[in-house]
Structure 1
C-alpha cells in the first residue's frame, strides 16, 4: 500500500528516523499507527519457543505495514525491525480512519492491499506445507517475482540474503544454499556474484 505522502502529512502523519536494527513495534504492542516506508527496509518477524526467527515479510520503499491490526483492534502479533537506517511516516490510528472516511477511494486500495497480503499468506502456507525444499523456495521466488512488472526469464534480482530466505521459508541456511545450487544446475535460477536471478 502506498498512500500519497502529502495526504498522510495533511492528516497528521509524522516522519520518524530509525536506525538499523531499531524496533518500530514489537509483538503484543498496541496497534496505534499506520506505517509507510519512505526510505529503508523493515522486516516483520517473530520467534518460536526455541528462539528461531521466522520472517513473515521484508518491506521496502513505498510499502506499508501495521494497517490490518488497526481494523481488528488487536495487538501486533509480530515485530517490525529496521534492516537498515529507515525513514518511516506514521499516522495515528484515529487520523488513519478519518483519512479513509474523507477519501473513500482509499478503501478500495486498502482492500486490494490486504487481499494481496492474504494471497501471499495462502501461497506461502501452501509452499511451506511441502517437505520439498525446492518447492518452498520456488513458492517464495514466484511470490516475490509477482511484484515485478516485466515478464523476463532469470532477470529478477532476489534482494534477500540466504539467511533471510531461510527465515522466510523455515529452512536451514545450509539447505537453502544447497537447494539454490541445485536449482541453478536445473536451469531454474542464475547465481551471479552471490546474486540470485529468477
Structure 2
C-alpha cells in the first residue's frame, strides 16, 4: 500500500480540480498532452512569493492547495490587494502580453501549485488549440471580477464586506468546500486594503453582521448563519 501511494502521482488527468482549472474545456487527449508539460505540486511557504511584479514571465500558475493574494504596487510603492486566490484558479497569464508580471502573487498560507512553463506555451498552443481558448475564458473572468470590484467602489462598507464574503462563499462552493463555514486567510487590515476600507471599519462591520445574526465570527473563522440577509445587504435591500 505504501509503495502504491508513493508511486501514485497527481497530474492533470487525475486532478480533482479538473472542472475548474485549465483542463476544464479540453478533450481527454489534450489533457494528457498538457499533463506531460505541466510541473506539478510546487510548494511555497506562507509569505513567500510565487512570482513578483516586474519579473520576466516564465509560467502560468494553477493554485493546487492553499490560498494566495494578488498584489499590485503603484509608483509610490503603495500595495493594493487585487484578489484572494483559491484552489483551481489560474494566475500569471497576464504576463503573456508584456512578457512580465504586472502584479505579485504571495502565499497566504503554505501552498502548492502547478506551473505551465512559458517556454512550452507556443508549442502547446500549436499542439493543443484549446489551451488558448481556455486562457481567454480565465482572462475574461478575471476582467469581469476587476470590473465588479471597480463598480463596488462607491458602495457602503456593509455592501462591500457582504460582497467579499459572498464572493468567497460562492467560489469555495464551486470547489467542493463549505459555502457557509470557512477561514479567511487575509487579516482584517488586508481585507480593508482590498475593499478600500479601514481596519476599524472592517472589524466594526463584521461585528455588526454578527450582532444582526448574519454571521458567527471567531478570529478568522466565519460561519454564515443568514445567507439571505447578506444577499439583501449586497443588493442594497437592507434597511
* TM-score clears 0.5: yes
Alignment TM class, shorter chain as reference:
0.7 to 0.9
Across the aligned residues of Structure 1 and Structure 2, the Cα RMSD in angstroms comes to 2.8
Change (3 A) 1:144 1:14: closer
Given the superposition, is the C-alpha separation of residues 12 and 162 from structure 1 closer, same or farther in structure 2, using an over 3 Å criterion?
closer
Residue 136 (structure 1) aligns with: 160
Q: Distance in 2 between matches of 1:81 and 1:105?
A: 29
Shift of 1:33: 0.9
The CA distance in 2 between the partners of 1:173 and 1:37, in whole Å, is 28
User: For residues 99 and 18 of structure 1, what CA distance do their matches in structure 2 show?
Assistant: 26
Q: Report the TM-score, using the length of structure 1 for normalisation.
A: 0.80
Q: Is the Cα contact below 8 Å between 1:134 and 1:179 reproduced in 2?
A: yes
Q: Give deviations 1:113-152, integer Å, cap 9, x for gaps.
A: 212111110111111233x2122223323433342359xx
Note if 1:28 corresponds to 2:54.
yes
Task: Tell me the CA shift for residue 175 of structure 1.
Answer: 0.7
Q: Give the TM-score normalised by the residue count of structure 2.
A: 0.68
Tell me how far apart the structure 2 counterparts of residues 181 and 14 of structure 1 sit (CA, whole Å). Answer: 41
Corresponding residue for residue 89 of structure 1? 114
2: distance between equivalents of 1:158 and 1:40? 11
| Whole-angstrom distance in 1 between the partners of 2:166 and 2:122 | 34
Instruction: Note the residue ranges of structure 2 that are not aligned, 5 or more in a row.
Output: 1-19, 24-30, 228-239
User: 1:78 maps to what in 2?
Assistant: 103
Larger Rg: 2
Q: Does the alignment pair 1:11 with 2:37?
A: yes
Matched residues in 2 for 1:77 and 1:183: separation?
35
- How far apart in 2 are the matches of 1:51 and 1:93? 28
1:24 is paired with a residue of what secondary structure?
strand
Unaligned residue ranges in structure 1 (runs of 5+): none
Q: 1:108 and 1:47, CA in 2 relative to 1: closer, same or farther beyond 3 A?
A: closer
- Partners of 2:45 and 2:180 in 1: CA distance: 31
Distance in 2 (CA, whole Å) between partners of 1:157 and 1:17 is 22
The structure-2 alpha-carbon separation of the partners of 1:62 and 1:178, relative to structure 1 and needing over 3 Å to count, comes to same
